[in-house]
């Protein structure tokens, strides 16, 4: 498929430029170059950026990121081994010594930070595996070794609590985390041919459908009837389910009903107070991607137009929009603590490219 549609779209061109500009020489993508708390590389954010680069014709950028992840995993092999030993002994993983998913751009882990970061997030590793299978065709020996380490770890770790993709709820098991890990293990099976990973995928799907589905849709936590917008990644990009699966369709419908702002943007979950709990740009992109996958041109077009409307004069996309927040009284405390909302957020730019790509697949552009 030709990428000529990108040339005609100023926001698409700037999105590619921003992601490439802020990809470190190491291969890592910084989450946000202007927001001190986000001047790090997350596996989750980076994987979405890598996929966006790949589908936009920048496969070298994606491979550079994948090589950075694999080398980082290999450098911290001892952390994975120690964590797996604890799990095999029936002991909980200690978050402070768990394999992290936020790194300095050179691949090192922060040691002395003024805030203890909730760094034990299984979804980041699942997301990397899921995206790796979609962005690489030739797997180096180092990548294959890293895939084995990560997948073996996830096979043991997935039933245990970890922080979710919003870095909250470290004492809980989260629906979106299980979907990410399931997709990652399925991808690991495709990459390696190891049937253990496919068995792990099937075990997680059984657990999800037993404990994380209510009223026909996925839920945020076991026993929690509410949805979380990140659950919309079940099909894209994680491929844990087909986009047409009834549970996926019902989940996306529930997210649109409960969390999508009619004017554009999607809240993470009901009750969110981070910067007031506004409308997240990347989540609008995730719903648009799902819409395009299912042939919903009207919704996709509305999302695409909204992205263009909220980009600033430099065509930069922020993390969230604070026009219609859930907790207005919480905007000022967060701004005093960390400053204004992160902008540009590379993950937001990646989602715009991914929704465009799916629209192009549908021959809408």
Q: Which residues are catalytic?
A: 164, 167, 319
For residues 354 and 339, give the distance between their C-alpha atoms in angstroms, rounded to a whole number.
29
Cα(266)–Cα(77) distance, integer angstroms: 37
- Provide the β-strand partners of residue 299: none
CA-wise closest residue to 62 among 350, 283, 319: 350
Q: What residues does 160 pair with on adjacent strands?
A: none
Distance CA 166, CA 101 (A): 12
The position carrying tokens 């026909």 is 216
Angle 177-199-87 (CA atoms, 0-180°, nearest 5)? 60
3-state secondary structure string across the chain = CCCHHHHCCHHHHHHHHHHHHCECCCCCECCCCCCHHHCCEEHHHHHHHHHHHHHCCCHHHHHHHHHHHHHHHHHCHHHHHHHHHHHHCCCCCCHHHCCCCEECCCCCCCCCCCCCCCCCCHHHHHHHHHHHHHHCCCCCHHHHHHHHHHHHHHHHHCCCCCCCCCCCCCCCCEHHHHHHHHHHHHHHHHHHCCHHHHHHHHHHHHHHHHHCEECCEECCECCCCCCCHHHHHCCCCCCCCCCCCHHHHHHHHHHHHHHECCCCCECCCCCCCHHHCCEEHHHHHHHHHHHHHCCCHHHHHHHHHHHHHHCCCCCCCCCEECCCCCCHHHHHHHHHHHCCCCCCCHHHHHHHHHHHHHHHHCCCC
From CA 239, how far away is CA 246, in angstroms rounded?
14
């Amino acid at each position: 498929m030709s990428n000529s549609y990108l040339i005609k779209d100023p926001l698409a061109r700037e999105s590619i430029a921003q992601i490439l500009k802020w990809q470190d020489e190491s291969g890592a993508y910084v989450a946000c170059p202007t927001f001190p708390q986000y001047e790090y590389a997350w596996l989750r954010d980076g994987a979405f950026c890598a996929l966006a680069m790949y589908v936009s014709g920048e496969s070298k950028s994606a491979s550079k990121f994948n090589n950075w992840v694999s080398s980082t995993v290999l450098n911290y092999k001892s952390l994975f081994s120690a964590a797996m030993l604890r799990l095999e002994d029936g002991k909980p993983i200690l978050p402070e010594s768990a394999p992290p998913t936020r790194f300095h751009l050179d691949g090192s882990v922060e040691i002395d930070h003024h805030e203890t970061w909730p760094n034990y997030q299984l979804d980041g590793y699942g997301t990397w595996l899921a995206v790796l299978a979609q962005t690489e065709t030739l797997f180096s020996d180092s990548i294959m070794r890293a895939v084995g380490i990560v997948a073996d770890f996830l096979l043991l770790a997935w039933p245990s609590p970890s922080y979710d993709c919003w870095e909250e709820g470290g004492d809980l098991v989260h629906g979106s985390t299980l979907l990410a890990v399931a997709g990652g293990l399925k991808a690991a099976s495709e990459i390696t041919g190891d049937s253990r990973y496919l068995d792990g995928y099937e075990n997680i799907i059984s657990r999800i459908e037993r404990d994380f589905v209510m009223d026909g849709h996925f839920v945020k936590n076991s026993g929690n009837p509410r949805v979380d917008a990140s659950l919309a990644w079940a099909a894209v990009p994680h491929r844990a389910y087909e986009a047409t699966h009834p549970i996926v369709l019902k989940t996306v419908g529930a997210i649109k009903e409960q969390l999508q702002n009619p004017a554009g943007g999607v809240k993470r979950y009901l009750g969110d107070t981070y910067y007031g709990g506004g409308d997240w740009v990347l989540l609008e992109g995730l719903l648009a991607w799902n819409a395009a996958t299912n042939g919903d041109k009207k919704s996709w077009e509305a999302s695409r137009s909204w992205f263009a409307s909220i980009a600033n004069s430099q065509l930069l996309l922020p993390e969230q929009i604070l026009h219609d927040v859930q907790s207005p009284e919480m905007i000022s405390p967060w701004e005093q603590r960390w400053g204004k909302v992160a902008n540009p957020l590379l993950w937001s730019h990646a989602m715009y490219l991914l929704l465009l790509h799916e629209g192009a697949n549908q021959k809408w552009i």
